[in-house]
């Protein structure tokens, strides 16, 4: 038996030198991974299956078999078994999901909220959508996001005086679009 064979390294793992487990991992993980890919698994699935194979190695550490001092044949057979078990579990899960009744249709609460919006909100949205895109952005940046007129103007490539004028105009349009809806019912 060679001093660097898997059998010798594994004997030191079993005697308590768990760092040697990393040696086995380094030696064989790429071959196991390539074998799983060649068996038709995706790369990411093969990574998971490779980890599961080495978990099996640790779990069954007292029952592994060596071929000419190497663990690789045992790892390849175990990888095939782990892959088949995972595929079988996936099929069972798919059958389980297919057997479940279809979910009942639940109305979207956003639709219910939209139905409850008042005329004022509808008028405001219509006025905002009719505004020029730059004016709408300018209003949103100043009124909603809290930017100063100078900051918003610089971000939109406008002068500060042009931004002020645009804001006055868009606010006037919004007020006139919303104000008819401010009169209470029965008012004059």
Would you say residue 114 has pLDDT above 80? no
What is the value of pTM for the model shown?
0.54
- Residue 94, exposed/middle/buried by CB under 10 A (0-12, 13-18, 19+)? exposed
Residue range 110-129: average pLDDT? 74
Q: Please report the pLDDT score of residue 187 as a whole number.
A: 47
Residue 95 has pLDDT above 90, yes or no: yes
Question: What are the chain's domains?
Answer: 6-99 (1.10.1740.10), 109-181 (1.10.10.10)
Which residue from 2, 6, 1, 46 is spatially nearest to 23, judged by alpha carbons?
6
At 173, the pLDDT band (50, 70, 90 cuts) reads confident
Judge contact between 49 and 36, C-beta under 8 A.
Answer: yes
Residue-wise pLDDT for 21-63, tens only, equals 999 999 999 999 999 999 999 999 999 999 999 999 999 998 9
Number of neighbours of residue 143 by Cβ within 10 angstroms: 14
């Amino acid at each position: 038996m060679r001093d660097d064979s898997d059998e010798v390294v594994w004997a030191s793992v079993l005697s308590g030198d768990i760092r040697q487990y990393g040696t086995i991992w380094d030696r064989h993980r790429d071959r196991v991974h390539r074998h799983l890919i060649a068996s038709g698994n995706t790369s990411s699935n093969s990574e998971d299956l490779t980890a599961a194979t080495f978990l099996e190695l640790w779990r069954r550490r007292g029952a592994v078999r060596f071929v000419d001092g190497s663990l690789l044949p045992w790892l390849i057979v175990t990888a095939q078994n782990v892959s088949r078990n995972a595929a079988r579990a996936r099929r069972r899960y798919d059958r389980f999901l297919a057997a479940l009744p279809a979910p009942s249709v639940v109305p979207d609460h956003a639709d219910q909220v939209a139905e409850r919006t008042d005329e004022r909100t509808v008028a405001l949205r219509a006025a905002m959508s009719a505004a020029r895109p730059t004016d709408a952005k300018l209003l949103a940046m100043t009124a909603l996001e809290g930017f100063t007129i100078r900051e918003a103007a610089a971000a939109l490539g406008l002068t500060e005086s042009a931004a002020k004028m645009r804001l006055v105009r868009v606010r006037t349009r919004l007020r006139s679009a919303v104000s008819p809806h401010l009169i209470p019912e029965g008012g004059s």
